Amino acid sequence: MRIGNIDGTPEEIRDLCELHNLSVANFIDAPPRRSHWGWVILPAAGIVLVLVIILFAPVLKPRTILICLTLGAGFDIWLASTVHLSFRNTFVTWLVLIGGFVLLLMACGVMLPEDVLDLLKKQKPG
């Protein structure tokens, strides 16, 4: 029988653990737990709320736009971190992070959708 890095009969493994005051659970590789969907929904809702404020507020002062951008960036980093911890996929993490920042910049008028499309065309291989 093999548990983690320990090889032996069940009695030998049990005796070894009792002798050294160890728990067998420390040697068993448990599957990673997925986080609750609330940890993804909450920062996504925060980003949507910031985007709605930026897009539909009649006139925003530069300070308010800066606060909204900071909050949106924080929510975006939180969302990307949660997605990375949940799915362990670097590509999806970067996609969420860059996509969120681009959406925030487009909502504030720093980037136009045409600029984003031109940038994507330049990055496209071939």
pTM (two decimals): 0.71
Q: DSSP label at 58?
A: S
3-state DSSP percent of the chain in helix, strand and coil, to 5: 70, 5, 25
3-state secondary structure at position 29: coil
CA distances from 120 to 87, 102, 113 (A): 25, 12, 11
pLDDT value, residue 29? 64
Q: For the segment 85-124, what is each residue's pLDDT rounded down to a tens digit?
A: 888 899 999 999 999 999 999 998 888 889 888 888 888 7
CA distance 75 to 72: 5
- As a whole number, the mean pLDDT across the chain is 86
